[in-house]
């Protein structure tokens, strides 16, 4: 059977921009990324199918829609579940930029006068400001040297789902129709699950721990066990380091000047990514 070239092929979507990943392609498992020699990934605009996928509530909640859209619009990323979470914002910004253009309107509230401001974010400028934290720097504490690594999108999404469930449980625990004993019981359940989640998040962000004797421990189960039993000094050192990485994102502090003439004061606001509203 002879394959006849589609005469409409020249009208298929084309890359609208090229993206350099903040991670520079590090931490991707073999087969999950086809990194070009230039280090720049072509980014295509979304298709109608991609937009429909993003309107499916269940797929949005479990992260599957985000994975499918990333792999459709940035085909060099073969397995978005394994993508380092530090690349997520840059990739989503690039997809929206390629689809709708560089400007993104959003609303913020001035903390000085409590009134709303309509703003436009320059996605190209924001994307260029996203950098990779220094994961090569180690944490030295209590005679240990701790090596940090970024979470995968799969781990990040799991943690987000767990937090969502915990918020629901807390709402139930605050139900006035429950007795104090029932509230306490439900709160204890939520507290224990939150504690387990926090330990899991910390342990999965550690690639290895070197002891005073020079023994490098890289087994995930042994690292998880360690963080279940380590002292507060070690725990706080790792937690503080990871939190400092999160605060480095330029998306957390978008500079704004209040548009109301009787205020006109500067302030900063985070640009929140909710896929359901971000891609509209």
Dihedral Cα 84, 243, 158, 47, nearest 10 deg: -50
* pLDDT over 70 (residue 1): no
Alpha carbon distances (Å) from 261 to 48, 111, 245, 254, 257: 42, 15, 36, 20, 10
Taking a C-beta distance cutoff of 8 angstroms, is the pair 256, 108 a contact? yes
Res. 274 pLDDT band, cuts 50 70 90: low
Angle at alpha carbon of residue 124, lines to 266 and 115, rounded to 5°: 30
* pLDDT over 80 (residue 245): yes
Number of H helices and E strands in the chain, helices first, is 10, 10
**Could you read off the pLDDT of 174-228 as tens digits, one per residue?**
666 777 777 777 777 777 777 788 888 899 999 999 999 999 999 999 999 999 9
**The pTM is what?**
0.83
- Please name the residues in contact with 23: beta carbons below 8 A apart, sequence gap of 6 or more: 84, 86, 87, 132, 150
* pLDDT over 70 (residue 117): yes
Q: How many other CB atoms are found less than 10 A from the CB of residue 83?
A: 28
Query: Domain locations in the chain?
Result: 13-131+250-278, 139-246
- Please name the residues in contact with 198: beta carbons below 8 A apart, sequence gap of 6 or more: none
């Amino acid at each position: 059977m002879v394959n006849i070239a589609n005469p409409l092929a020249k009208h298929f979507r084309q890359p609208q921009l090229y993206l350099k990943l903040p991670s520079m392609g590090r931490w991707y498992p073999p087969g999950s990324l086809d990194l070009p020699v230039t280090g720049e990934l072509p980014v295509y605009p979304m298709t109608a199918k991609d937009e429909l996928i993003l309107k499916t509530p269940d797929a949005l909640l479990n992260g599957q829609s985000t994975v499918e859209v990333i792999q459709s619009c940035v085909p060099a990323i073969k397995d978005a579940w394994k993508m380092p979470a530090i690349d997520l914002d840059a990739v989503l910004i690039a997809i929206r930029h390629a689809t709708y253009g560089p400007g993104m309107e959003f609303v913020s509230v001035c903390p000085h006068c409590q009134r709303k401001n309509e703003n436009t974010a320059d996605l190209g400028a924001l994307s260029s400001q996203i950098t990779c934290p220094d994961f090569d720097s180690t944490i030295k504490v209590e005679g240990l040297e701790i090596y940090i690594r970024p979470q995968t999108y799969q781990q990040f999404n799991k943690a987000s789902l767990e937090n969502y469930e915990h918020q629901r449980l807390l709402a139930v625990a605050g139900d006035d129709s429950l007795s104090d004993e029932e509230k306490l019981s439900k709160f204890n359940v939520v507290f224990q699950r939150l504690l387990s989640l926090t330990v899991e998040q910390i342990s999965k962000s550690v690639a290895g721990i070197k002891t005073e004797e020079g023994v490098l421990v890289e087994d995930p189960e042994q690292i998880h066990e360690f963080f279940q039993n380590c002292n507060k000094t070690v725990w706080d050192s790792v937690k503080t380091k990871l939190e400092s990485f999160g605060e480095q994102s330029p998306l957390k502090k978008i500079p704004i000047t209040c548009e109301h003439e009787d205020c006109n004061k500067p302030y900063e606001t985070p640009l929140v990514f909710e896929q359901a509203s971000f891609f509209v």
